Amino acid sequence: MEESEFIFKKNVEIEGSSKWSSPSNIALIKYWGKYNSQIPKNPSLSFTLTNCFTETKVSYSPKKNKREGISYEFFFNGKSKPRFKKKLDNFFLKIIKYIPYISNHHFKIESKNSFPHSSGIASSASSISAIALGLLEIEKKTNNLSKNFFFKKASFLSRIGSGSACRSLDGPIMLWGKTPFFDKSSNLYATNFDKKINPIFLNFQNTILLIDKGEKKISSSEGHKLMKNHSYAKVRYAQARENIGLIKDIIISGDILKFIKIVEQEALTLHGLMLSSNPYFILMKPNTLKVIELILKFRADTKLPICFTLDAGANIHLLYPEGVKLIVKKFIDNELKSFCQDKSYIEDIVGKGPKKIIE
């Protein structure tokens, strides 16, 4: 689909509300580097999660003062959050071209996470996608959108607010970025993995080890900008494009050993790019490295197919098949959780995407 197909030309006014739960996701093939128009410089692929989600209610009514700019209130856990205003202002201004009716309405946005806000998990994917779904309900109610187009446009809008958010609109495995390995892939929105997924990946476990609950010293947006003049940028983009093809075959075949190799390589490459950017930054913590070493030793000793990945932060996503869950749980409790802040971790599993909440 072309960008122009997402432009809604009617200027409607209605009153109502919509409530959605939208999950976070964890990238296996990492997205790091983008063009100014929020287009990725390499394709990425992710597991959609289940238990880490944002629940958002969007209430809307026609504005009394039509000359007023974009009008909204934002509440997180029942409290007003002015510091989120700049991000939401930018989001609204960028998407008004595609859903112009947001200029005719006042919005009350009430949001909460299923995971602690201070847990160190990036919540932009789940929060922005949940808001996009709520806003798009206005168009759905007035234009009879098909289910397929509704979620595709929600992914399109989410991408504009937060690149990784576009991958939260379906599951269990989502692809974002144009690649010859997938015919329906797009830079404008994420698409579902369109091949038969090996059953081992359909209920894959993801335990998030909360090494550090604090906020990152540098935002992902700033990190993406540093890729513009990065010495290793071209090599990285070539690597990611190749890895998309490799992991496609792995997900179809179920070759867990190859899966482990490519997922861990991607995680360490991401942090290697941060360490070698100018200025450089270090988001791993000492306990991140200690836990990685323990994971590698445990895998070597037991031959169990567990592996790690990381976002642009200190926390570790421990990935493993459901069949070894009980053994891995003992490993986490006995050896890993002592390295987590407050001994905290979150148990999650690959999921299927957002859910509409009927009140």
243 three-class SS: helix
> What is each CA distance from 335 to 299, 327, 330, 331, in whole angstroms?
13, 12, 8, 6
Percent of the residues in the chain that have a pLDDT greater than 70, as a whole number = 98
Q: Looking at the predicted structure, is the pLDDT value of residue 117 above 80?
A: no
Q: Domain check: are 222 and 191 in the same one?
A: no
Q: Domain check: are 342 and 204 in the same one?
A: yes
pLDDT averaged over every residue in the chain: 94
Q: Domain check: are 165 and 205 in the same one?
A: no
The pTM for the full model equals 0.95
Q: Give the residue numbers spanning the domain of 327.
A: 200-349
Query: Per-residue pLDDT tens for 140-174?
Result: 999 989 999 999 999 999 999 999 999 999 999 99
- Residue 179's CATH number: 3.30.230.10
Q: Domain check: are 148 and 240 in the same one?
A: no
Q: Please spell the DSSP secondary structure of 37-50, one letter per residue.
A: TTEESS-EEEEEEE
341 Cβ contact list (under 8 Å, min separation 6): 210, 211, 212, 213
The residue among 91, 134, 87 whose CA lies nearest residue 109 is 134
Q: Domain check: are 216 and 323 in the same one?
A: yes
Q: Do 185 and 191 meet the contact criterion of CB atoms below 8 Å apart?
A: yes
Q: Looking at the predicted structure, is the pLDDT value of residue 260 above 70?
A: yes
pLDDT at 115: 86
In DSSP terms, 106 is beta-bridged to 61, 71
pLDDT at 122: 62
The residue among 92, 93, 81, 173 whose CA lies nearest residue 134 is 92
* Composition of the chain by helix, strand, coil, percent to 5: 45, 25, 35
Query: Per-residue pLDDT tens for 277-302?
Result: 999 999 999 999 999 999 999 999 99
Q: Domain check: are 219 and 299 in the same one?
A: yes
Q: Domain check: are 191 and 209 in the same one?
A: no
Cis bond leading into 279, ω under 30°? Answer: yes
Query: Per-residue pLDDT tens for 311-339?
Result: 999 999 999 999 999 999 999 999 999 99
Q: Looking at the predicted structure, is the pLDDT value of residue 118 above 60?
A: no
Q: How many CB atoms lie within 10 A of CB 16?
A: 12
273 three-class SS: helix
Q: Domain check: are 78 and 150 in the same one?
A: yes
Q: Domain check: are 169 and 219 in the same one?
A: no
pLDDT at 120: 56
Q: What's the chain's length in residues?
A: 359
Q: Looking at the predicted structure, is the pLDDT value of residue 62 above 70?
A: yes
pLDDT at 193: 96
Q: Domain check: are 122 and 205 in the same one?
A: no
- Record the tokens describing residue 157, joined without a space: 């809008």
Query: Per-residue pLDDT tens for 232-254?
Result: 999 999 999 999 999 999 999 99
Query: Per-residue pLDDT tens for 192-221?
Result: 999 999 999 999 999 999 999 877 777 888
Q: Domain check: are 172 and 219 in the same one?
A: no
- Residue 340's CATH number: 3.30.70.890
Q: Domain check: are 191 and 98 in the same one?
A: yes
Q: Looking at the predicted structure, is the pLDDT value of residue 14 above 90?
A: yes
Q: How many domains does the chain have?
A: 2
Q: Looking at the predicted structure, is the pLDDT value of residue 39 above 70?
A: yes
Q: State the average pLDDT over residues 35-51.
A: 96
33 membership: H or E segment, kind and range: none
